[in-house]
Structure 1
């Protein structure tokens, strides 16, 4: 049996290079030769805290780009050599920090030849998260992305809090392309111009002591916003969002919720999957949705269409652009992965996606 190199968590705080059997794709699956894999903060939570881990070893990474190496039975729309992206959220054999992986067809999408594989590696997990959050969890209708067919509530203000994050950047692009014209965002000042270029109609400094008042002035009316995506979801952002959201509003929190004021966590107990009853800053009438992107495949339409059809079409038509990439391509594969994990531990990622080149 052939094997390949993988970077895996082998215990709390332990990341090592290991060899894994290279799987053969079954019916409805493809084998992918991975070119690039992206890392996100939950990868660091998994390494350092054992977050969401049932057994070891665990390969890292929820997002990949590469080429089709083998096609399983029943797949007639992909072939060997096709350039693809995949949302690699399933078990060990599907994850990103390894030379080969197997994926079901439903999480794989072809990409245009014009899109570099390193940029493509930034796309799947956070674009899936953004689409699912905005057009499923938040309740907005499925978009046509046609300028001649604007949505019914095109003038509804929508807040995307934490626009320096990858998922938030995709959410802004999707909302803009769908025809919403009051997309409000918060970000660090050095990211403001980039966020506006993505389609935000107004961007505010999240550190400003007058943030709530500034947003209220822009929104007008009662100064409140009914639809909010919190892409940071920590104790501080929840409090700020609670001051901005309308009493009859909906808030989508990208899980997990972090204690404190950063994306990092010191212990597993600092990562929550729901707003705690004690200290909940929201009015009882506000609808709170904890977004678990993995659940998007429970929606049959999204399962069959989002990665295989909708996202490839968005990329082909240049409706969505990849995140700015922090490419890690120096040293060994293990050293690259460890460098990426350190960036999250030290809160050094803003406005970009950490993408690791995979050795072959």
Structure 2
């Protein structure tokens, strides 16, 4: 039996992860096997530990890049030797997760690149041409893909002159959401971030940037959007940020689409009874549902029956056209291979802004 190294949940408060030797995962007919090169830390990784969704011995990690080693018999669009990055439903399985030398992946959340290099020196935002950069974007792209293709259905619902609000523009997801809103849909983009990140976000495509700590931020967003704020995406997804996102749309008439990353909806905030709230469409983006039919997060969250009908054409046919123009965010590169996982989880838990934690093997 061939073994590999993987970072697994320790079951202890410190360290959070340990390195284990386990069998290389066996793929089914609808999966690909990736020989891993680089990885990225996401908040969902340590949250699975904190909220005890993952258990001792489960393989950690959600974001990986590498080279295709093997393809299942039903796979048509990948072959051995392809350069890829993939989002994995990690942190809940003792046989598969992203932080391992080999990873079983779904094509539904895997991206193919023309070429990736091993250069791990460049930490600034730039084109996605390294394994580190590729590892940093996939979960974010799956997330934005579900929001834009399904819950917002921008291909159908976007009209000339429409605005989108991206609350938390300097998050890993926000950075990608800004670029794709401009590149694919040419929306007018309003975003919130710390003032130190405003120029960076404007260079990515944001038209207007506001300080989320400004007590007048909601009024400024209303004034700027000229009653055309038909789409709003909360990447911070706390009750107070979601309230501000909702309040920012109060002067817009017609259909409004609002989404968040932590399953918030109209029951999570205080609605204004003087508004016509019936024309608001509430999204509940959860990236795991691009791969699995359901996800247990306390409650059982099921994939909407038609989600893949919207998402997969976007993932397979729309996104690839814009990959060459996309930039990953700034990277914080750790140097200890899979031994970096514990450090990375703790850094992520403390909070990072305009930076993605990555490491390679």
Query: Cα–Cα, structure 1 residues 303 and 194, in superposed 2: closer, same or farther, change >3 Å?
Result: same
Which of 319, 339, 345 is the matching residue for 1:341? 345
Partner deviation per Cα, 1:59-97 (whole Å, 9 max, x = no partner): 222111100122232334433222111121266344211
Matched residue, 1:62: 62
Unaligned runs of 5+ in 2: 117-128, 292-302
What secondary structure, in the 3-state scheme, does the structure 1 residue paired with 2:154 have? Answer: coil
Query: Cα–Cα, structure 1 residues 304 and 215, in superposed 2: closer, same or farther, change >3 Å?
Result: closer
User: 1:109·1:309 contact (CA, 8 Å) conserved in 2?
Assistant: no
Matched residue, 1:313: 321
Shift of 1:152: 5.3
Rounded to whole Å, the distance in 2 between the matches of 1:12 and 1:83 is: 35
Shift of 1:184: 0.6
Query: Cα–Cα, structure 1 residues 254 and 339, in superposed 2: closer, same or farther, change >3 Å?
Result: same
Rounded to whole Å, the distance in 2 between the matches of 1:332 and 1:94 is: 18
User: 1:110·1:308 contact (CA, 8 Å) conserved in 2?
Assistant: no
Query: Cα–Cα, structure 1 residues 108 and 302, in superposed 2: closer, same or farther, change >3 Å?
Result: farther
Rounded to whole Å, the distance in 1 between the matches of 2:312 and 2:269 is: 37
Shift of 1:32: 0.8
Give the TM-score normalised by the residue count of structure 2. 0.81
Rounded to whole Å, the distance in 2 between the matches of 1:131 and 1:332 is: 30
Which of 348, 351, 358 is the matching residue for 2:354? 351
Shift of 1:302: 5.0
Of stretches 290-299 and 203-212 in structure 1, the one that deviates more from structure 2 is 290-299
Shift of 1:10: 3.6
User: 1:86·1:103 contact (CA, 8 Å) conserved in 2?
Assistant: yes
Rounded to whole Å, the distance in 2 between the matches of 1:161 and 1:304 is: 25
Query: Cα–Cα, structure 1 residues 204 and 295, in superposed 2: closer, same or farther, change >3 Å?
Result: same
Shift of 1:307: 4.6
Rounded to whole Å, the distance in 2 between the matches of 1:308 and 1:138 is: 18
Partner deviation per Cα, 1:18-71 (whole Å, 9 max, x = no partner): 111112333232211111111111112112231x33x44222221111001222
Query: Cα–Cα, structure 1 residues 16 and 102, in superposed 2: closer, same or farther, change >3 Å?
Result: same
Matched residue, 2:37: 35
What secondary structure, in the 3-state scheme, does the structure 1 residue paired with 2:79 have? Answer: coil
Matched residue, 2:245: 241
Which of 205, 222, 226 is the matching residue for 1:216? 222
Rounded to whole Å, the distance in 1 between the matches of 2:183 and 2:212 is: 24
How many pairs align? 323
Unaligned runs of 5+ in 1: 143-150, 256-272
Residues 43-82 of structure 1 mapped to structure 2, 5 A cutoff: 43-50=45-52, 52-53=53-54, 55-82=55-82
* RMSD between superposed Cα atoms in Å: 2.5
User: 2:137·2:328 contact (CA, 8 Å) conserved in 1?
Assistant: yes
Residues 124-163 of structure 1 mapped to structure 2, 5 A cutoff: 124-141=138-155, 153-163=159-169
- Alignment of 1:323 with 2:329, yes or no, is yes
User: 2:60·2:99 contact (CA, 8 Å) conserved in 1?
Assistant: yes
What secondary structure, in the 3-state scheme, does the structure 2 residue paired with 1:141 have? Answer: helix
Which of 228, 250, 253 is the matching residue for 2:260? 253
User: 1:153·1:180 contact (CA, 8 Å) conserved in 2?
Assistant: no
Query: Cα–Cα, structure 1 residues 152 and 350, in superposed 2: closer, same or farther, change >3 Å?
Result: closer
